[in-house]
Structure 1
């Protein structure tokens, strides 16, 4: 099943497969998400999903049960 993933603030949309790593989806869409440890510990890859929850993109995948997922990218000057 495909999920439309929309990256804000640039409003870039790409189709992704359920279970596909979020960093891979972003890379395919040409969207840069900063990373540090790649284990979720440093929070460099924190992004906000449409319901207001913050997730770490390096350990997150496209979730099942939805047709669209909106990701709001943070701007962190330390990364």
Structure 2
């Protein structure tokens, strides 16, 4: 049996061995997930939202402690969450890209108001 992860919003899909951390799969697939600690569950930057119906290995106590209840809303740490089957992951935009997109949207809105 193999695992498969689809990363959203890009739609990039990759086949992986069960037990592969989401962060490792993302790196192999060329999907950027921010991290500062190198995958040691210390920085909390690799937090991703797991779509309902995804098949991950059970959450470990350390990750659960770090998430402090966010796992109940579907969040997991990409460095700790391990694939068991088919997984769908929503990857947040990195902060700089998100800020640029917000600024561009605001400028487009202002331009539309002028016309």
TM-score, structure 1 length as denominator?
0.82
Instruction: Determine which structure has more spread, i.e. the larger CA radius of gyration.
Output: 2
Distance 1:4 1:42 in 2: 26
Offset at 1:75? 2.1
Aligned partners of 2:33, 2:94: CA distance in 1, in Å? 10
TM-score normalised by L of structure 2: 0.58
Would you say how many aligned residue pairs link Structure 1 and Structure 2?
75
Structure 2 unaligned spans of 5+: 53-72, 97-115
Contact between 2:48 and 2:76, CA under 8 Å: does it hold in 1? yes
Structure with the higher fraction of residues in strand conformation? 1
Match of 1:71 in 2: 89
Greater Cα offset, 25-34 or 35-44 = 35-44
SS in 2 for 1:59: coil
Structure that is richer in helix per residue = 2
Moved more, 33-42 or 47-56: 33-42
